[in-house]
A and B are shown apart, each in its own frame.
Chain A
Amino acid sequence: MIREFLTANSPEEALRKRIASGEGSVFLAGGTEINRLGSVLCPSAVVALQDPQFKRIELANAAVTIGSCVTFQQLVDSPLVPAYLKDAALYCGSRTRRNMATIGGNIAMQRDDSYLMATLVAAKARLVMADISLEGQYLEENIPIREYHAFGEHFVESLLVHIILNKPTRFVASQRFAKTVQSPAAVTVSFGADISSGEPHDVRICAAVKGSGVVRFPEIEDGVSTGAFETPENLIPLVDSVLTFSDDITGSAAYKRYILGTAIADLYRKCLDSMKKGGAA
């Protein structure tokens, strides 16, 4: 039960207030996770992020900087946000929820049916994380999202301030598979690659798989980058080597395995088609 409601007008203030309020306090962005029925979070205190920078989307030096409290609907509405991220934001089918749910909150939760995480990894997003050092100093660090994904436990005390998207010519596309638009997804998968050289390289493939978590597929990424697959379908058997699938309400393990492999192959093909057309998505 929330017993304390605090507000912060800067990242530093937010971090210091959270530390002061002790264990059980969390940052409050949109609230769709913290306040919802069945949430895994049960904070005793919340620190509401009120600094306007948390809610801005800006373009500078060919990079789009997105505040962590930017809502899904802001992503959809902003002309600065790449289409692939708008697509991912629209996976949240409820407009009303999109008005509340934030990009930062979605990243922080790293849910196994995350709307955005796979796409942001595929896009090679970078995250600006803020911390208070052991010496009490306020610090900001710009890290690749893959680091956040791989070592999430290192960042539980940190505050996500910004998400940065660069490489605007990068191909990024995703697919989501769920019973209804608003049902939890069995699989949300995204494929990203730098196609500036005429061959896909710097590939990132990431999927949120219900029951398995948010996972990357390094072997397939390498295979695509090195042109190891004669056809996209050839990568499908490798899906199994990366993770274990489970049966649940979104589908059987066999279904998830099939659909994930098929979707990655489809996205790879789309990437190849996109290159043939000379564009990025």
Chain B
Amino acid sequence: MIVTCKVNGRAVQATVEPGDSLRTMLVASGYFAVRDSDDAEGFAGSDTVLVNDTPVYANLMLAAQAQGAVIRTPEGLDEKGRLSIVQQALIDAGVVQSAYNAPAAALLLTWLLEHNPNPSRKDIQDALSGIFVRDTGYEHYFLAVKLACEMRDTGSYISMIAPEFRDELSYVGKVKPKVDGRQLVAGWKSFVEDRVEPGACALVMLRSPHAHAYVTSVDVSEAEKMSGVVMIITADNCPDVYYMSAGQGNPEPTPYDRRLFNRKVRHVGDRVAAIVAETEEQAIAARAKIKVTYEVLKPVFTVEEAMAPGAPVVQNGVAEYLSGAPADLEEYNKGVDPREGKVIYCFPLHGDNRHNVAAAAHGAIGDVEKGFADADMVIERTYQSSQIQCTPLEPHVVYTKIDNDRLVIHASTQVPFHLRRITAKVCGIEENKIHVIKEKVGGGYGSKQDILIEDVAAYATWVSRRPIYSRNTREEEFIANSTRHPMRVTVKMGAKKDGKLTGVYMDVRANTGPYGNHCLTVPMNACSKTLPLLNCPNMKFDVTTYYTNIPPTGAYQGYGAPKGSYALMTCLAEMADAIGMDALDMARKNMVEKGFMLEILKSLGEGREGTVVPVGSCGLGDALEQGAAMIDWGTKEESDDPDVRIGKGFAMIQQGSGLPGLDHATADVVLNTDGTFMVHSGGSDLGTGLDTISVKCVSEVMQVDMHKVSILSGDTDNTMFDTGAYASSGTYFSGNATLKAALDLKKKVLTEAALQLDEAVEDLEIRYPGEIHSKKTKNWITYAKLSHDALTGVGRGQMVGYGSFVTNDSAIPYGAHFAQVAVNVRTGQIKVQKFYALQDAGTPINPELALCQMYGAALKSIGHSMYEDMVLDRNGVCLTPDFTRYGVPMTSEIPDDFKAVLIDINDDYGPYGAKSISEIATNGAAPAIANAIHDAVGVWIRSWPFTPEKILKGLGKIS
């Protein structure tokens, strides 16, 4: 049938099927900014359009219903590249980060202002209620609307966007538009899906319905005969290569315990076969024809089940060691069923796969038993965190093709260089045969640190030579993606009556699920990013990670720290309560301060001995004091509702800035022939503003406006090595690499200028807007002339600065989060009334982006603490495989009073004194809210999520 309508003022006539959605029609007509992040769930709002001036989800409307309609899409907002006031305000407010939904949000807010020129906070909240924003929370959307109104009414902004830092600097620490903001907010081609060419094949996965089973046979004969089928990959024809999905430093502190396809499935949703066909419909039809038989095994889902004597063994394969093999290995491997495959350790991780132990670590300082003996009070508490999904709006997606007889991978990844290495291994080729292009990443949060679909697509393309597009469904994101490890953390704590801690012990039991990616490092983070907050002479930890049959786990923003922080900080508050001391006083008494030697770090290296360093720049004390003042700590609030009790809580937090001694970043900066600059950074900007940081560093060093500096990043052919964007490494490592490259270029520019001007280098200086000036002769030369003359055929060639950054120095960000909650003792309902996130990010290079990341991470962790939960049934089937049932926070869930505050501390090692900002912000909500709940109603909530039901149980109202 034919649908005639108007789209963005243009007449459109489209031929559609009766069942086609409006989005299908719009995308086919070229309106690709109408995106899809929920597979037509009608939740996340990426598919928002205006139909006859009403916002609707284009996925939930049939194209046929649009007959005669007037439709507006995000593409209609800018005028030939000139952004609208709303679009620009969104960039300036800092909310255009991973930005998969930014065009839809711009459309909605434009609509709002057209109908309500001066909307209230509630109006904005309502307008955005159908949009899911994971990266920045919603707080600065309110600011963006305010800015847009101010610009509309007065021609300029009146409101302060964010505090600025370092008066002596021009770009760093200043509010400046994000360099890729225009592209992202306007909805121009940015993401992997935008790179797919006509004729690309589709890859879909056949997944296991069982949590634990041997695959006894896979019959693809009928499927292979289906129309359009290109190839089917199973355990029978995939490479016999063991690897793991985690994009971590090589050699990895993670076992190689999987092939592309295994003869045993270990979770519901595990891969059984990949079907490549010329269209997605053909691939899906062929998938239905594959016949699989299973020998079903008893599964284990919890740490307790996995550690029980005689428990079913999830990874019962042959153990191999690339180094450090134990002497009894031959005996250990006797009688193994070959269908189990292998578990290969690069080096010993203290695993025992025969008993479901994937990895273990132990360490201590002082004598913790003596610490407990010396204590006036000893308590022991156990805290349980749940399995949490990263939920990036853009699901895992990849486009692979052959070009120039090489494999090209358009990826949405945090780790392009690890991706290249791992796919090279899987494909059995060398890295020079692979070109990874990191496209814009529509949300990563750690889940795109894992190689979850790229491996299969890359192999299929390499073998078939066909271009292949593969994209997870939202359900696949839930069941076959990386998630937060569920952890059971027991804390034993001893203290004197005056509140001084005498001993702390953490026993971390982590559930890694079916595979061991990140199985050592995430759980260790529960200790390594929490214990160093405490000035306690006797501390000990044991970390054990178990294989189970839950959906896979992996990296998630904060890594293991949110779980450790929840346990340790709640236990600290429980101890304060037990000895009758104010929790804030107890924190003050036991927190570390600048110069304190972090001896505990010695035993907290990632698979090797860690480096003991002193506490460097530290805003912990300031964060605590400012936060306490903001929330009026010590004052009991009363509610008008007799059923409602109000309480306050807080938590001290820390994280790291990359992994000193492990991470490596590289960049170069090229002086172009016209005096502009090109940065090539190996770093991976996930939308967080890393590219903007690099550009600011170059602008600052070379004293040129930011628009004179362009950047290409995360491209394995065109940039140099970088370990990638994880462990909060971006600013510290990749930023420092670019800064070093810029400083190197500056040196070369001055040297060249000295030659061209016939001056001494020491007499020259660089000055705005891009020239070299002689302090002695007042002579000067522009970068353009300098570069041109260096490249005239008789010059000395192009000036390129090179920067490689490695370090053993730590730049640890600190902070404190405060919460005020209202708890209804009759219904158990909890409302977060106030949430204040105070963090020391050193010098925040992009202060407005930093604030938004704090809001986003804090709201995420509020979600993790209170609402989000992957629920499995007794067979391991996920009962919450979509946004609605899973329960992510939307505008309705934001605290009434939500503030992010940057504590001004300059760091000695970060670029211009900067430290990381975002991961740390996931660590505070759980303990702060748990402690506030106790303050309100006297109930300690020791497991996520903090549901009304648990409150009611705690109050004895239900059993």
> Which positions in A face B, CB cutoff 8 Å?
1-5, 28, 31-32, 35-38, 45-46, 48, 93-97, 99-100, 177, 179-184, 248-249, 251-252, 254-255, 258-259, 262-263, 266
**A183 in contact with B129 (CB, 8 Å):** no
Min Cβ gap B800→A in Å is: 50
Q: With A2-B18, A31-B62, A266-B826 as given contacts, are A37 and B948 in contact (CB-CB < 8 Å)? A: no
Question: Is B4 engaged at the interface, CB distance under 8 Å to the other chain?
Answer: no
A252-B947 Cα distance, complex, nearest whole Å:
11
- Which residues of the partner chain A approach B605 to less than 8 Å between Cβ atoms? none
Q: Decide if B43 is an interface residue (CB 8 Å cutoff).
A: yes
Instruction: Give the residue name and chain of the A residue nearest to B885 (CB).
Output: A249
Identify which of residues 21-59 in chain B touch chain A, using a CB-to-CB cut-off of 8 Å: 21, 38-43, 45, 48, 54-57, 59
Cβ of B62 and Cβ of A179 under 8 Å apart? no
Bound-complex Cα distance A251 to B828 (A): 12
In the bound complex, how far is the Cα of B17 from the Cα of A4, in angstroms?
9
Q: CA A93 – CA B130 in complex, angstroms? A: 8
Is B158 close to A, CB under 8 A?
no
20 A-B pairs (CB sep. < 8 Å): A3-B18, A32-B42, A32-B57, A35-B21, A37-B474, A94-B42, A94-B43, A95-B126, A96-B56, A99-B56, A100-B57, A179-B867, A179-B887, A179-B945, A180-B888, A182-B884, A184-B884, A252-B949, A258-B958, A262-B826
Q: Which of A35, A182, A254 has the most CB of B within 10 A?
A: A182
Bound Cα distance A32, B57 (Å): 9
**A183 nearest in chain B by CB position:** B887
Q: Would you call A48 and B884 a contact (CB within 8 A)?
A: no
Do residues A249 and B949 form an inter-chain contact, with CB atoms below 8 A?
no
Q: Which of B297-305, B337-345, B889-897 contacts the other chain?
A: B889-897
A181 to B38, Cβ gap below 8 A? no
Residue of A45, A183, A254 most packed against chain B (CB within 10 A): A183
User: Do the beta carbons of A262 and B57 come within 8 Å of each other?
Assistant: no
A251 partner residues in chain B, CB cutoff 8 A: 947-949
Counting chain A CB atoms within 10 Å of each CB, the highest count among B108, B893, B949 belongs to: B949
State whether A183 touches B885 (Cβ < 8 A).
yes
Summarize B's interface: helix, strand, loop or mixed.
loop
Question: With an 8 A cutoff between CB atoms, is B373 at the interface?
Answer: no
1/0 per residue, CB under 8 A from A, across B185-203: the answer is 0000000000000000000
Residue from the list A28, A37, A45, A96 in contact with B130, Cβ < 8 A = A96
Q: Which of A5, A46, A184, A252 has the most CB of B within 10 A?
A: A5
State whether A255 touches B952 (Cβ < 8 A).
Answer: yes
Contact (Cβ within 8 A) A181 B893: yes
Contact indicator B62/A5 (Cβ below 8 Å): yes
Judge whether B60 and A5 touch: CB under 8 Å: no
CB neighbours of A1 from chain B (8 A): 19
User: Does B589 lie at the interface of the complex (its beta carbon under 8 Å from any beta carbon of A)?
Assistant: no
Within the complex, what minimum Cβ distance (angstroms) separates A93 from chain B? Answer: 5
Residue pair A37, B62 in contact (C-beta under 8 Å) = no
Minimal beta-carbon separation of B74 from chain A (angstroms): 14
B957 interface contact, C-beta 8 A? yes
Instruction: Give CA–CA (A144, B774) in the complex, Å.
Output: 92
A95–B130 touching, CB < 8 Å: yes
Residues of B within 8 A of A48 (CB): 62, 64-65
Q: Which residue of B lies closest to A113 (CB)?
A: B884
A37 CA to B884 CA in the complex, in Å? 11
* Among B21, B829, B890, contact of A182 (Cβ-Cβ < 8 Å): B890
Chain B residues 311-332 with CB under 8 Å of chain A are none
CB-CB nearest in chain B for A257: B958
B68 to chain A, nearest CB (A): 11
> Bound state CA distance, A182 and B130, in angstroms?
9
Are B882's CB and A38's CB within 8 A? Answer: yes
A37–B18 CB distance below 8 A: no
User: Which of B1, B40, B952 touches A35 (beta carbons < 8 Å)?
Assistant: B40
Contact B949 A255 (CB under 8 A): yes
User: Contacts A1-B19, A2-B18, A255-B952 given: A182-B43 contact, CB under 8 Å?
Assistant: yes
Contact A35 B59 (CB under 8 A): yes
* Residue among A96, A254, A262 making CB contact with B45, cutoff 8 Å: A96
Contacts of A259 in B (CB 8 A): 827-828, 948
CB contact between B60 and one of A31, A95, A177 (< 8 Å): that residue: A31
A95 in complex: contacting residue of B55, B880, B889, CB < 8 Å: B55
Q: Smallest Cβ distance from B123 to chain A, in angstroms? A: 10
B126 to chain A: closest residue by CB: A95
Contacts of B474 in A (CB 8 A): 37
Q: What's the Cα separation between A36 and B130 when bound, in Å? A: 15
A28 to B127, alpha carbons, bound, how many Å?
A: 25
How far apart are A20's CB and chain B's nearest CB, in angstroms? Answer: 15
CA of A94 to CA of B893 in the docked complex: distance in angstroms?
A: 12
Residues of the B chain whose Cβ atoms lie less than 8 Å from the Cβ of A5: 1, 18-19, 62, 64
| Partner pick for A181 among B39, B871, B890, B948, CB 8 A cutoff | B890
- The reply to whether B57 and A180 contact each other, CB–CB distance below 8 Å, is no
Instruction: Tell whether A184 pairs with B885 under 8 Å between CB atoms, given A5-B18, A94-B129, A177-B827.
Output: yes
* Closest B residue, CB atoms, query A76: B126
- Assembly CA distance A183 to B18 (angstroms): 31
Which A residues are CB-close (under 8 A) to B127?
95
Top 3 nearest A-B pairs by Cβ distance? A96-B130, A2-B19, A181-B892
Q: Check B159 for interface membership: any CB of A closer than 8 A.
A: no
CA distance A3 to B131 in the complex (A): 30
Q: Specify which chain A residues have a CB less than 8 angstroms from the CB of B1 in the assembled complex.
A: 5
Query: Are A93's CB and B957's CB within 8 A?
Result: no
Complex Cα gap A258–B947 (Å): 14
Whether A4 and B887, one on each chain, are in contact in the complex, defined by CB atoms closer than 8 angstroms, is no
Residues on A with beta carbons closer than 8 Å to the beta carbon of B60: 31-32, 35-36, 97, 100
In the complex, are the beta carbons of A258 and B18 less than 8 A apart?
A: no
B64 x A96 contact (CB < 8 A): no
Given contacts A35-B42, A95-B129, 11 further A-B contacts (CB under 8 A): A2-B19, A32-B57, A35-B21, A35-B59, A46-B18, A46-B62, A48-B65, A96-B108, A96-B130, A177-B827, A181-B892
CB closest chain-B residue, reference A251: B949
Residue pair A97, B57 in contact (C-beta under 8 Å): yes
User: Could you say which residues of chain A place their CB within 8 Å of the CB of B56?
Assistant: 96, 99-100
Residues in chain A near residue B42, CB distance under 8 A: 32, 35-37, 94, 96-97, 100
Q: Which residue of A lies closest to B108 (CB)?
A: A96
CB-defined contacts of A248 to chain B, threshold 8 Å: 879
Of chain B, the residue at the smallest CB distance from A252 is B949
B958 to A254, Cβ gap below 8 A? yes
Residue from the set B19, B21, B888, B948 with the largest chain A CB neighbour count within 10 Å: B19
What separation, in Å, do the CA atoms of A184 and B54 have in the docked complex? 25
Cβ–Cβ contact A93 & B129, under 8 A: yes
Tell me if B285 counts as interface (CB < 8 A to partner A).
Answer: no
Which of A2, A3, A93, A182 lies in contact with B62, CB distance below 8 A?
A: A2
